[in-house]
Structure formats: structure tokens, C-alpha cells
Structure 1
Amino acid sequence: MEKCKVKLRNVDIGKMMVNSEARLQARKIDHMVFREMVAKCIIQHGLPFAYVEYERVRLVWKYLNADVKFISRNTAATDVYKFYENEMENLKRELAHLPGRISFTSDLWTAITQEGYMCLTAHYVDRNWKLNNKIIAFCAFPPPHTGMHIAMEILQKWKDWGIEKKCSPSQYFHVRCTSHILNIIVQIELKDIEPTLHKIRESIKYVQASEKREILFAKCVEAKDDDDFDFGCVN
């Protein structure tokens, strides 16, 4: 404490503040680093490209550094795509020099717009014995969704990434999706009780068709015992 007092006596506080402000204003901004950080922000948080044109965002940037150069949404889109290409090239080199094999999982689904999509994920252990999961393809997948068509599409993605020689067809271990198999089993079994399910669904639709019916139904539930339940009160 005594040493601090001695130092403060010999220092002009006002001069310290002026020097600090001068250093802050003199700080140079690397515009390319700034653009890369903005691109990463857009990717990580799922922001629209128009984010860089928001008035309040630009005011914050201007406040932090008066020398900042604003960018347009088109520039932001270009930076994001450039970042994607760089990361893809880095991943290609990593996959090409892996000491072991690569496993893949594929997921196919149909959107509510009836458009088909496919996601292909690579699973591998790197040189540091760390398990990695990387999406190498996320694309539209038009019909037919046959086994042969799926296999040809996956093979083409392997060629695009230059990893088709990592293993031969005789070394593949094909494991079907357990969830898909269970879903098929459930769908087959549901066919036997389909008439009952239809009645239950129609009953629910009838009760939820108006607020009055929902209130009457709730009163029926409260009034009736579990052994003597009657839906007639909602008619």
C-alpha cells in the first residue's frame, strides 16, 4: 500500500487517461480477421447474412472501432462459403492420411414438401485416438430411394472426397438402422389395431373441436370412476 501511494504521487492521473485513450484510438483493425470472425459468428449461431447490415450491429462495431469497414450480405455469404471450402480441404487432407478405416452412417428422410434428402456422416479415430464425427454430405436426394441408388450416391460422395480407396467392398460392415427396423415392426403390428386407433383419433378430434366439448369432457372425467367411464356425456 505504501509503495502504491508513492507511485501515485509522482504520476499525473489525467495524463494516464489521455495516454490510455490514445492507445485505444490508435489500435489498428485487421479487416480480414474481422470478416473471418463475422463469418464464424454467422455459422455458429445460424444468423442470416443480412445480420451484417443490421443498423444496431453496425453501431456497435463503429463504437468499438471507428475504422471498421462494413460489409454487405453478399460479402458475408462469400466469406462463409470460403470458410466452408477451406474447412473441407482441411478435412480432405485429414481423411486422406488417416491410419485406420472410416465408418459411415447415412440418414434419409422426406420433408413435408415431399422432397428427399440425405445426410452422410463419417466416423473415424484420428492419430490422437480421438473419435470424430464429420458430416461430409448433406444434399437433396431425389427418387428412386432404392438400395442400389443409395449405394451409388454414397460411392459418388466418397469419390468426391477422395476416400473411396480407404477400404474395399469386401471390408465393409453394413449395419442396418435399428430404429428403422423397429419402426417397420411397429407399423406392421399397428395394422391389426388400425380400426381401434381410428376410433380413438376420431374421438379426440370430436372432443377438441370446441371449447365447450373439452369442458364437458373434463367434467365427465372428474365425475366418472375409472370402472364406469362413459363418453356419452359429451354428445
Structure 2
Amino acid sequence: MTMFKEEKPVLQKLLEHNESRIAITTDMWTATNQKFCYVPCPHIEGVIVKVLMDCLSQYCLENKISTVVVDNATTNDAMMKILMDKFEKRSLMLKGDLLHLRCSAHILSLIVQDGLGVISSAIEKVRDCVSFWIPTPKRIENFEACRFLD
């Protein structure tokens, strides 16, 4: 925290004078080690927008945002509608048409989880087989002997 407190003003000054656009990715989770930005309860769109805008203002980024990447939570959809009104339209690229982007990693994770759900019984059977065959060298020998039988 000491290093953060020392470096924060340096970063703020650097970002304030930076003329480039910034793309941000944001997500919320409850974790005991998450101390970067506290979001008070309830975690509804208005509260999230206020905290995000305060954070962007601290670093002079409110007029430099190109995109905001969030997951598919309905709260994020509502948050992005409010957030769009908080930004000056002229500061947004393409009038904000690309401001709200969905996290492709989150979407891919959802697809993979659905796929794993479909094949979960087969995965369980493979795990059971592996657990049966590998505990002793004799079982491994028997398994290897069986694999060449046709």
C-alpha cells in the first residue's frame, strides 16, 4: 500500500497528460483480498456507475475512454446505459457505439461450461477408470497388457 500511495500521483499525472484513449475491463467479485476499489452494497447499476466514474475521475480518464468491457450480467447492461449518459458524447468514439463490449473470455467460458456439462458423465467415467488403474504397478501392467489385445 505504501508503494501504491507513492506511485498513484505519478500515474495520475502521466494519465492526465496522455492524449490516447483507454479501454477498460471491469468486473465485480467478492473476495477478501480485493481491495482496489470498494463498491458498497447493494451492487446495483447506479452504485457501480458512481464508483466507476469516481475512479475514472481520479485518473482524469472520464473523457478518454474508448471501450468498457464487462461480462454478460444484466446489471452490467443497465450500468452501461447509465454510464453512456455520464460521458460527453463528443468524447466518445463513434458516438459511443462501441463503448459497451462484452467479454469474449467470459462468453467462451460459458460455452465451455455448457459443453462440459453435456459430457460430464463421460469425464466422470474416465476419471474413475484412471483412479482404478493407476494405484498399483500390477494394475498398470494389466492395463498395458490389455491394450494390445484385439
TM-score when scaled to structure 2? 0.57
Matches of residues 58-73 of structure 1 in structure 2 within 5 Å?
A: none
- Cα RMSD over matched residues? 3.6
C-alpha distance in 2, partners of 1:142/1:198? 41
Look up the match of 2:21: 101
Higher RCO (CA 8 Å, separation ≥ 6 residues): 2
- SS in structure 2 of the partner of residue 90 of structure 1: helix
Pair 1:194–1:166, CA change in 2 (3 A): same
Farther-moved stretch of structure 1 (170-179 vs 138-147): 138-147
Pair 1:175–1:117, CA change in 2 (3 A): farther
Matches of residues 137-176 of structure 1 in structure 2 within 5 Å?
A: 138-139=36-37, 151-167=49-65, 168=87, 170=89, 171=92, 172=96, 173-176=99-102
Pair 1:221–1:169, CA change in 2 (3 A): farther
Structure showing greater radius of gyration is 1
Q: What stretches of structure 1 of length at least 5 have no aligned partner? A: 1-79, 119-136, 229-235
Look up the match of 1:84: 4
Look up the match of 1:216: 138
C-alpha distance in 1, partners of 2:148/2:47? 53
Structure 1 residue 175, shift from structure 2 partner: 2.5
TM-score when scaled to structure 1? 0.40
Q: What stretches of structure 2 of length at least 5 have no aligned partner? A: 66-86
C-alpha distance in 2, partners of 1:227/1:144? 63
Deviations 1:147-203 (A, max 9, x none): 766555433321333432435275252332222211110111222212222222333
Structure 1 residue runs of 4+, over 4 Å off? 107-110, 139-152
Is the contact between residue 21 and residue 64 of structure 2 (CA under 8 Å) also seen in structure 1?
A: yes
Is the contact between residue 16 and residue 60 of structure 2 (CA under 8 Å) also seen in structure 1?
A: yes
Sequence identity percentage: 28
C-alpha distance in 1, partners of 2:143/2:40? 49
Task: Count residues in correspondence.
Answer: 122
Counterpart selection for 2:104 from 153, 173, 178: 178
